[in-house]
Structure 1
Amino acid sequence: MSALLRDAVVVRVDDDPHDYRIGHLDSIDPNRPHRVALTTMALDNTRNAATTCTDLLRTFPSIRCVLLTGIAGGVPAPQHPERHVRLGDVVVPVSGVVDYGHTRERAGVAEPRRPLGGLSMAMLRAVRRIQQSAYTGAPPAWQEWLLPAREQPMATFARPPATTDQLHAGDNMIDHPAPAASGHVDGEPKIHYGRIGCADVLQMDEKRRDDLATRHEVLAFEMESAGVAASATSRGVEWFMVRGVVDYCDRHKTDRWHPYASLTAAGFTRRLLADCRPFPVWRTVTGSGVIALMSDQQADRLVALLDEAPPLDLPRLWRAAVGNAVPMPAAPPDNVTDLFHHLLGVNANAENLPPALAAAEEVATHCDSRLASRIRDCVDQVALQLQIVEAVRRRRGLAGPRAQPQPPDPAPAAPIRPCLLIQIERDGIDQQACEVRYWIQRRSDSWDPEPGEPRRTTFQRVERVMQEAIRHAESVWRDGQGPFEIELLLPTDLLHEAVEWWRTELEEPAPTPLCLDYPIVVRSLDRMRATFRHRVWADRWKALWRPPARHRLYWGRPATDDSLDQWNAVLRTDTEITTVSLGTSPERSEGGAELRSALNAGVPVILWDRRVPLDSSTIRLIEKLAEDEPELLRDRLAELRRAAATAADQPHHPGRHLALLWDDPERTVYEGPRS
């Protein structure tokens, strides 16, 4: 892979033991190559794979897909030539990976507990394109795939002589099926699509190999994908795998085919990415050294708007963007969007304004007011990120009467506190079972949570699993400065649980409620996963912090009022509402309906009393809690809960029953747009 990478540079990062090569590989879009971070695992097992993947994703948080490329042991099938795997062939797990080392024993038979999820749909679509090409008769261009970009042969990775591809049955050497029957071409690898088996087992037993292959319908065996899958999916990142076959998982295995099989896996990976659309990540312009102005998602949105612009004089537009110092390319662009892509690779001018943005500003002056406003909104977003708002304002001052007002100053962001985010999700079949995942945020400067090991457990033991997560977090925070918080990421049907009163120090004589040691809030797992709700959620969050930052309260319905439609309509039409106080607990149908309506409307802060419908004393208390800056609400509620723990009338103290959903859309652990 290192030999096939373009423009590669070596990068070393503090607090990360791995070396990385950063470079480019072609995508299906010739103007937007994939930007790739490449590293190599030190050892071949699932634990090391998980650790390496976790380090990779922590160092490069914008990664959108993890590709595992390497070698595997193949499963020969001389009695079924169409499935026969030979040395140097490539196996692609389009049907998934079987974690046969993670099993459930039942009636003396070991069964895999669950399939490895998270395979990249983008990669599967690219595989389908390659398969479609094969169906039309286009032969695999292996000679092109297996050479580096500089097109020099690599003798180190040469294909071994065919006589070294020896197949055995016990101690006897047997013949391979005829190439015409197995679909092989002399001197070239064959691509197999199917299923791969994974476990921390180096397979060298012919009988065991065939038994597992028959039971699980696998074409090859390897030792890393389960670790990569666990690490990547815990961060909401897709993954995929390509394997080159080096042996037949028997006692006759040698290392002779390792270099060539590594190359065939790397070559197919290169082809796979060439048929895959570029992911929406930050990039550099290939070969220019120019840092990307915007994410691919922002660029796509701006290009879509530029496509709506009327026909323009392109040479004049070029001069308006860069002046006369930089001539137009020898092959001039055919339209505005091509010109925009060219300008992404040109450095900013003396006014500190990138030419691509200058061109977008110039296009806006020739558009109707609606389209011009949308183009300038996109430019404003990029300008705020690059801290060049003043340069954009100066440009608009030169643009004449069509120029729009300067963009408003951004609202202050909510402060980031170190926290432990714990996700609890009910099992889809066994309602007494659940899965617990957690992420540790150790820093205060940026949101970069580190995943822990997911655990399956029961609700009876969930406090014990949470205690392990808390102790892990405390060991990470031991040299840090608080306050430290715990956020519970829950599906809607669990949001009513009094999680702040769940306990830790369970082995001690007096287990301690969580709320005595930490501010506790709940968050919506369903909304975090529903990316189609993120825009309105982010808009409400911004309204919460827009100067003057304050809660804009909306009260739940009285117990006698059943007009949910009208209540919901007011909530939807008044986009300045940031905080909802439910009329009753979500455990009741009325409160549950209000909760779902508030979540769907994007409300980031929701309070409720778990006891009874709102009364006058609770209303006054909530008004008091929410009367100042939004950030104080969590601390005031934490104080109220601590007071409840020491109160003589604890069962009746309001701090025992008030719940808070505090849901920041910028603090996500699943894929989705961020503001």
Structure 2
Amino acid sequence: MDAEVAAYRRRIRRELIEAMVVAPVLQTADGWSLFLHELSLALSDAVHRIGQGTFQSRVVKVVNHCSRRVDGMRSIAESMKLLDPDSHETTSILRWVDEWHVVELPTGVDVLWLKDVLDALPASGDVYRHAVEARMDEPPGYCVTGWQLFANLAGENAVEGTLPCLRFLQKVAPSLPFATRARLRNLLGALFARWEIVDQPAPAAPVPPFGDMAYLIIQFEKYGGDGDSYLVSHWRQWATVWRPVRGRDRRVSEADLETVVEEIVVEVEREWADRMGPVTIEFVLPDSMLDLPVEEFRRELRSVEATPLAIKYPICVRSLTRLRSTEWHRVWRMRWQRRETAELTDVVLHCAADGSGAVQVEASLSGGTVVLVLSEPPVPGGIGERQLLAGLRAGLPAVLWHRRTYPRPERCETVASMIRDALLGSGLAELPAHVAELRKRAWGEGSERRTRHVGNGIVILWDDPDRLPHRASAGGVGEVRP
């Protein structure tokens, strides 16, 4: 077995050297010099003094030097990715460096037999999700098989005491042929013993379907002192544990918000092309923008007839102010807990009286209130804005309003009816879905009837305190669009 690992190690070195030798970015004097400079910075080592000789001999010296460093091979991959991220040669180098981390696992433990087994599994569906959950992040796009996912995870540090690659093997075990499962259990036992992990994580329990946790979160935020520029961030989540993956930030003008939202939606739909299940889109907005008609933002903008997002997705808004006002979070969590236990006989709805201000609304809320209906939209400087502030400070997870003026009894009865339907089902968690259905009905009407339909212009702020997008692992910021 050690001879097999040694032979595979030699193969990795050979394949890595061949890929570097033919990489166009390294074949010019400037490219090679820049690569050595980046590698020296990564290793805090003067790799650029590697010496002279033929180009191939210099590549061999670099690889030999880096193979003796703990972080050496990874530094080769990172330097190549920085210089030429999209080339075939860089992809090949990244994959071989991942495999190097596999052969660096403890000696005396047979791992290579897994290659044929895991290569038969495409990096999609449950297998892909297991990789996401094991590392709390999405794997790179060049991983197209289960083996490549495992190899990529092999270079990751332990999370909560266990290496992500071991978590992945545990989760993927039910997808392997039955005849290999006993051998996999023995392999995991040997690896846990080698790392002296006494309490092995329990085998993964059955999980809910994919669609239970499928969200795209898009956040708008004013950028610096420029009143016309916005930082647009987004996170996507398709897993059973709340671990959203952050995408690349974009800095755009206000006029281009709809266009960049379409780009993000299309980008995420392509990432999720092999999956099935509903997706909810949530917009995290500054309070001054909460009445922005984001549900009417369109897809297929270049087509003959673009369609609003609300036809395909449930759309909710969330308050950026509350997400960042941690002093409000305790009462927010308390109200959210009441939402989970609400029953049909409970008084969970409060309709703000016309003209009532923040203090009046907050003083009128009962302990069991979890849903607030505003008397008017929360436009800056208006009554609705002050009512919304009261609801946010009081921790209400759901706030609804209508962009058109409806008599108070009508708007309150519409929401009360949806709440009753939700509580007769699985609970208030269904409320956003009822709002989404009301919007779709409005869009199904002719243009004249649609303007009068109650679903045209209804807005729901739906805030779960346990699903907070984070700012770690942010992507780069794009250019301002003209």
Q: TM class, shorter-chain normalised?
A: 0.5 to 0.7
Shift, 1:483, TM fit: 1.1
- Alpha-carbon distance in 2 for matches of 1:550, 1:449: 36
Q: How many angstroms apart in 1 are the aligned matches of 2:361 and 2:308?
A: 36
Q: Does 1:583 align with 2:375?
A: yes
Counterpart residue identity of residue 598, structure 1: G
Partner Cα distance (1:487, 1:498) in 2: 13
Distance 1:631 1:450 in 2: 23
Q: TM-score, normalised by structure 2?
A: 0.52
- Residue 364 of structure 2 corresponds to 570
Structure 1 gaps of 5+ residues are: 1-43, 50-67, 74-86, 88-155, 158-198, 203-234, 237-280, 286-346, 349-385, 387-414
8 Å Cα contact 1:523/1:663 also seen in 2:
yes
Q: Which residue of 2 aligns with 1:63?
A: none
Corresponding residue number in structure 2 for 1:607: 400
Would the aligned equivalents of 1:549 and 1:630 in 2 still touch at CA under 8 Å?
no
SS in structure 2 opposite 1:461?
A: helix
- Find the counterpart in structure 2 of residue 78 from structure 1: none
Q: In the alignment, which of 455, 461, 476 is matched to residue 661 of structure 1? A: 461
Q: Which letter does structure 2 place at the counterpart of 1:661?
A: L
Measure the CA separation in 2 of the matches of 1:510 and 1:657.
Answer: 21
Give the residue type in structure 2 aligned to 1:419.
Answer: Y
Offset of 1:547 from its aligned partner? 5.6
The structural deviation recorded for 1:556 is: 3.8
Q: In the superposition, relative to structure 1, how do residues 461 and 566 fare at CA in structure 2: closer, same or farther (>3 Å)?
A: closer
1:552 offset after TM fit, Å? 4.4
CA deviation after TM superposition for structure 1 residue 512, in Å = 0.7
- Alpha-carbon separation, structure 2, partners of 1:428 and 1:550: 48
Measured after TM superposition, the shift of residue 549 of structure 1 is 8.0
- CA gap of 1:564–1:664, structure 2 versus 1, over 3 A, is closer
Measured after TM superposition, the shift of residue 471 of structure 1 is 1.1
SS in 2 for 1:631: helix
> Are positions 1:650 and 2:450 aligned together?
yes
**Which residue matches 2:330?**
535
Q: How far does residue 540 in structure 1 lie from its aligned partner after superposition?
A: 1.0
Deviating more after overlay: 562-571 vs 418-427: 562-571
The corresponding residue for 2:65 is none
Matches within 5 A, 1:497-516: 497-516=292-311
Distance in 2 of aligned mates of 1:550 and 1:486:
31
Q: What does the per-residue CA deviation read over 1:188-227, in whole Å, with 9 as the maximum and x for residues that have no partner?
A: xxxxxxxxxxx9689xxxxxxxxxxxxxxxxxxxxxxxxx
Matched, 1:422 2:218: yes
Distance 2:471 2:82 in 1: 30
**CA distance in 2 between partners of 1:555 and 1:466 (Å):** 33
Task: Give 1 or 2: higher strand fraction.
Answer: 1
Does 1:637 pair with 2:435? yes
Amino acid at match of 1:577: T
- 2:226 aligned with 1:435: no
Q: Secondary structure at the match of 2:303?
A: coil
User: 3-state DSSP class of the match of 2:337?
Assistant: helix
Q: Take 1:550 and 1:462, find their aligned partners in 2: how far apart are those partners?
A: 43
Q: Deviations over 1:577-609 (max 9, x none)?
A: 111111211016110001111112111111011
CA offset at residue 284 of structure 1? 5.7
- Work out whether residues 544 and 552 of structure 1, in 8 Å CA contact, stay in contact via their aligned partners in 2: no
Question: Does the 8 Å contact 2:376/2:405 carry over to 1?
Answer: yes
How far, CA to CA, are the matches of 2:311 and 2:317 in structure 1? 16
- C-alpha distance in 2 between matches for 1:637 and 1:550: 21
Using a 3 Å threshold, how does the CA distance of structure 1 residues 548 and 556 change in structure 2: closer, same or farther?
Answer: closer
Q: How do residues 117-266 of structure 1 correspond to structure 2 at under 5 angstroms?
A: none
Match of 1:452 in 2: 247
Distance in 1 (CA, whole Å) between partners of 2:346 and 2:470 is: 27
- Secondary structure of 2:44's partner? strand
**CA distance in 1 between partners of 2:43 and 2:392 (Å):** 44
* In 1, Cα distance between equivalents of 2:386 and 2:303: 40
> Given residue 662 of structure 1, which amino acid in structure 2 is its aligned partner?
W
Listed one character per residue, the Cα deviations across residues 44-66 of structure 1 (whole Å, up to 9, x for unaligned) are: 99xx99xxxxxxxxxxxxxxxxx
Check conservation: 1:585, 1:609, Cα contact below 8 A.
Answer: yes
User: Per the alignment, in what secondary structure is the counterpart of residue 438 of structure 2?
Assistant: helix
Q: Deviations over 1:91-130 (max 9, x none)?
A: xxxxxxxxxxxxxxxxxxxxxxxxxxxxxxxxxxxxxxxx
- Find the counterpart in structure 2 of residue 328 from structure 1: none
CA contact (8 A) 1:556 1:584 kept: no
What TM-score, normalized to structure 1? Answer: 0.38
Q: Deviations over 1:304-332 (max 9, x none)?
A: xxxxxxxxxxxxxxxxxxxxxxxxxxxxx
**Equivalent residue number for residue 482 of structure 1:** 277
Paired with 1:489 and 1:549, the residues of 2 have a C-alpha distance of 30
State yes or no: 1:545 paired with 2:345.
no
Q: Evaluate the alpha carbon distance shift between residue 569 and residue 646 of structure 1 in structure 2; reply closer, same or farther with a 3 A threshold.
A: same
Deviation digits for residues 457-478 of structure 1, max 9, x if unmatched? 1121111111111112112222
CA-to-aligned-CA distance 1:631-657 (integer Å, 9 cap, x gap): 221222111111111223222211111
Specify whether residues 567 and 72 from structure 1 end up closer, same or farther in structure 2 by C-alpha distance, changes over 3 A only: farther
**Aligned residues of 1:529 and 1:671 also touching (Cα < 8 A):** no
Does structure 2 conserve the Cα–Cα contact (< 8 Å) formed by 1:552 and 1:579? no
Q: Which whole-Å deviations, capped at 9, do the CAs of 1:521-551 have from their partners, x for residues lacking one? A: 1111121122222222111111100264898
Aligned partner of residue 428 in structure 2, secondary structure: coil
Larger radius of gyration: 1
How far apart, in 2, do the equivalents of 1:72 and 1:550 lie? 70
Distance 1:462 1:566, change over 3 A: closer
Q: Secondary structure at the match of 1:619?
A: helix
Contact map agreement 1:557 1:567 (CA 8 A) in 2: yes
Assess if the C-alpha contact under 8 Å between 1:551 and 1:579 holds in 2: no
Compared with structure 1, are the counterparts of its residues 663 and 614 closer, same or farther at alpha carbon in structure 2 (3 Å cutoff)? farther
Change (3 A) 1:477 1:663: same
Amino acid at match of 1:473: V
Residue-by-residue CA offset, 1:331-351 (whole Å, 9 max, x unaligned): xxxxxxxxxxxxxxxx99xxx
In the alignment, the residues of structure 2 paired with residue 607 and residue 512 of structure 1 have an alpha-carbon distance, to the nearest angstrom, of: 24
The change in CA–CA distance for 1:524 and 1:614 in structure 2 (over 3 A counts) is farther
The structure whose residues are more often helix, as a share, is 2
